[in-house]
Amino acid sequence: MTSLDTNKASMPPSQSNQVLLRPIDMTERAPQARRYEVIEAIRANREHTPSIHQIVDPKDSVLSIRSFSLWYSKSQALHKVSLEIARGRVTALIGPSGCGKSTLLRSVNRLNDLIDGVRVDGSMNVSGQSVYGPGVDVIDLRKRVGMVFQKPNPFPTSIFENVVYRLRIDGVRSRSTLRDACESALRSAALWDEVKDRLDQSAMGLSGGQQQRLCIARAIVADPALLLLDEPCSALDPIATLRIEELIREISRRYTVLIVTHNMQQAARVSDATAFMYLGRLVEYGPTRAIFQVPKLPETEDYVSGRFG
């Protein structure tokens, strides 16, 4: 049993998906009185060793990232990032704006390839298969790695055609197969009961929260090995955000989820593991409960409690 499993098992059922954020004590030392050795090393562009809690056996990881670096022309955005993302878990990427969270996420299904001047070093593997190796079929990769963006992006077609799009481009033509897959994906996205009587209507008529759940259904219809979520609630109201968070916990029973979020409360609520990044480097990675309550680094403690960053 990994410490992630132990972490979950040790919590009462009513609290198993929630981590209480440590309240800020304003009488504690001000941030400037604390020395951030790792942050200082990163700012000075010196080598540093991230603090990694032993949480994932590489044999149990869906996504393995090893010394991964990325450049936009001459500007380096990621610096030798190494992470093992556990199967069947929700892992959150947190950190200040510009720290490389979304760049790392978009690297997993090679969306950064669309930007001129991008080059990478190091390796990534999804379910043991290379992401950047020679001869990789990027279209096939994106079938195995689903992605949902900050703003809902439904296609201007019917709800049904939005959901089964991935299957159609894969050559599936059987109406009964597509219908069953559509229903299954919409049920998994907690949207079936709301749209089952209007599948032939335009997806553009759905609310923002419904559109985002539709995008999640579209991402999981092909049964991906990994689901990437890039701030999926940033454009939604609080009620829709709550529905998406509940959905993330639900689908994590079937899928491995990697989510980028700026919302510390959201990371604490939905994730099993959390990785804190700063200026393209990994600072600390561990079980969410440990990161938010007993982090190893003062930088992490002050960031998640709002005193830094």
Residue tagged 């481009």 (tokens): 169
Q: Which residues contact 200 (CB under 8 A, 6 or more apart)?
A: 158, 159, 160
Question: pLDDT tens digits for 184-242?
Answer: 999 999 999 999 999 999 999 999 999 999 999 999 998 999 999 999 998 888 988 98
DSSP symbols for 214-259: HHHHHHHTT--SEEEEESTTTTS-HHHHHHHHHHHHHHTTTSEEEE
- Give the Cα-Cα-Cα angle 75, 80, 81 (nearest 5 degrees): 110
Structure confidence by residue, pLDDT tens digits, 203-215: 999 999 999 999 9
Residue 273 has pLDDT above 70, yes or no: yes
Are 93 and 149 in contact by the 8 Å Cβ rule? The answer is no
**Percent of the chain residues past pLDDT 90, beyond the cut:** 71
Phi, psi at residue 220, to the nearest 5°? -105, -5
Dist CA 237 CA 54 (whole Å): 36
pLDDT of residue 54: 74
CA separation for the pair 127, 62 (Å, rounded): 5
Convert the pLDDT of each residue in 22-59 to its tens digit: 554 544 544 455 788 899 999 999 988 999 997 667 77
To which residue do tokens 């059922």 refer?
Answer: 13
State the Cα–Cα distance between residues 60 and 84, nearest whole angstrom.
9
Taking the C-alpha atoms of residue 94 and residue 285, their distance in angstroms, rounded to an integer, is 10
Going along the chain from its start, the domains and CATH numbers come out as 37-148+227-304 (3.40.50.300)
Tens of pLDDT, residues 282-294: 999 999 999 999 9
d(CA 1, CA 116): 44
Spatial contact of 269 and 245, defined as CB atoms under 8 Å apart: yes
Amino acid at 142: R
Contact 299, 96 (CB under 8 A): no
Tell me the C-alpha distance between 241 and 253, whole Å: 19
Confidence at 7, pLDDT banded by 50, 70, 90: very low
Could you tell me the pTM of the whole model? 0.86
Q: What distance in Å separates the CA atoms of residue 93 and residue 102, rounded to the nearest whole number?
A: 9
Residues 6+ apart with CB under 8 A from 72: 115, 117, 118
